[in-house]
Structures are given as structure tokens and as C-alpha cells.
Structure 1
Amino acid sequence: MTQYSAARRDSDHPAAWNAIGRTHIFAQPFFALHLSARWHMLGFAIALRDWRETAGQLLRLALVPLGSLTGRLPVGNTGRARISAFRPMPVLPDLAKMISPHDKSVSR
């Protein structure tokens, strides 16, 4: 979140989206952290007046509880509205090292 905050403060929008996307990947298995990452993504989309992204984040915020309850969270998904909310993506190697080595859903 530090990198996201710094990029946002510097108006480096691509870097901010990249940082919050990485946070989202890491946070997915943890309900409160996942919800927080989504909340920040929604706030950023609103601040940018990106209404397509805002609508996508609202939908995804609503899906967080369902995904957490069912365990159907797409591993590696960066969470942007332009990417399917159900599409798994490769986890970046540095993030994979931080995620539990016991999590078999993370391909290294």
C-alpha cells in the first residue's frame, strides 16, 4: 500500500494501478484485506472519474463476500474492471514467494 500511496500522491496513475493490483493479488485470500484493496480501487477509480472502472469495482466489491465464502477467487487476478473478475492470472514470481508456500493454487 505504501507504493500505491506514493504513486497516487505523485499522480503516477499507471504505477498506482500496478501497486494496488499487486496488493489485490496478495490480499485475495484474506477477506478484510481483499475488501480493503477493493475499496481503495473503487476510491481511485472515482478520483480519476473513470466511470467504467468505478462500475466494475462496485460489482467486484459486491462479489468479495461470495468469492470468499465459496473459495472461488481467481488466483493472480489484478482486479481491474477491464479483466474478467473470474479469470485467473499468473502470479508474479516475487509475489508468489510472499504467498504461503502451502497454497497449492499459486503456480511458481
Structure 2
Amino acid sequence: MKLYMSIPKTLAPFFEAELDLYNKAYASGGLTKAWHHLERAHIIGQRYPYAHSLVHWKMLQFGFKIKSPKEVLGQLPRLLVGGVKSFVGKVPVGNPGGSNVPPLKVFPIEEDIQNIFRKAGVALA
């Protein structure tokens, strides 16, 4: 398995699109929708250290925004070790990244996200 420090160029537009949708929803006060796009960005980018860490950083900021001690405290260890786990190729595939789920649990990947990986020519695992 080839490991990337940064997300592949073919996958990056999909990752960036989710972050753009997150930013738009967040700015307009659609916090539930914003979180949904952060989770999708996490699934897409979790195998790549920079992308993985970036999403956890945004999730930490989100936790502060919604004044959720659980999310803030849950994101701190994820932010510290998420990128390292990506670097060594040990991520729980499909995990949405929030503190409401176990950090090491593997989740099924939704069909539309599987299609993103196919379009990008990137293997899921």
C-alpha cells in the first residue's frame, strides 16, 4: 500500500468540495449540515496525514463553536494521533471522526463516497 503525505491530486477536489460545503453551511448557521460535510471530508481524507489532521482541527473548532466539552475533549487526542495513524497506514476506514463514535471503529463507507474513490482511481483500503 502506497502511503501519501498529502492527498492524491485526483481525490483532492472531492475532499476540498466537502470542506467548501462545510464552510458554506457553517457560515449560514446550518451546523448539522456543516458537521455532515466534515464527517464526509474525514472519511475521504483519513488516509492522508495532512488532510486527516486538518479535518480533526476543524472538528475541534466546531466543538468550541457549539460549546461541546465532549467534542472538544474527544478531538484533542484524535488531532494528536490521527495524522500519525494515517502516516503508518493504520486508520479505521469509514470512521466519521467525531467524538460520538469510537475512534478505532471501522464503519461501512456510503455508496456515494465509494463512487468518489472510484472516480479518483484510489483504492478504499
User: Normalization by structure 2: what TM-score?
Assistant: 0.77
Q: CA deviation at 1:65?
A: 3.3
Matched residue, 1:9: 27
- 1:82-97 to structure 2, matched below 5 A, reads 82-97=100-115
CA distance in 2, matches of 1:65, 1:75: 14
CA distance in 1, matches of 2:124, 2:20: 28
Residues 46-94 of structure 1: CA deviation (Å, up to 9, x unaligned): 1111110000011101111331233110111100101000001111111
Aligned sequence identity (%): 27
Matched residue, 1:64: 82
CA distance in 2, matches of 1:73, 1:65: 9
Q: How many pairs were matched up? A: 105
2:123 is aligned, of 98, 103, 107, to 103
Matched residue, 2:16: none
CA distance in 1, matches of 2:47, 2:87: 11
Cα RMSD for the two superposed structures: 1.4
Matched residue, 2:41: 23
CA distance in 2, matches of 1:69, 1:29: 8
36-45 vs 64-73, which moves further = 64-73
**Aligned residue identity for 2:74:** G
SS in 1 for 2:41: helix
Q: CA deviation at 1:11?
A: 1.2
CA distance in 2, matches of 1:14, 1:93: 21
1:39 and 1:102, CA in 2 relative to 1: closer, same or farther beyond 3 A?
Answer: closer
**Aligned residue identity for 2:23:** S
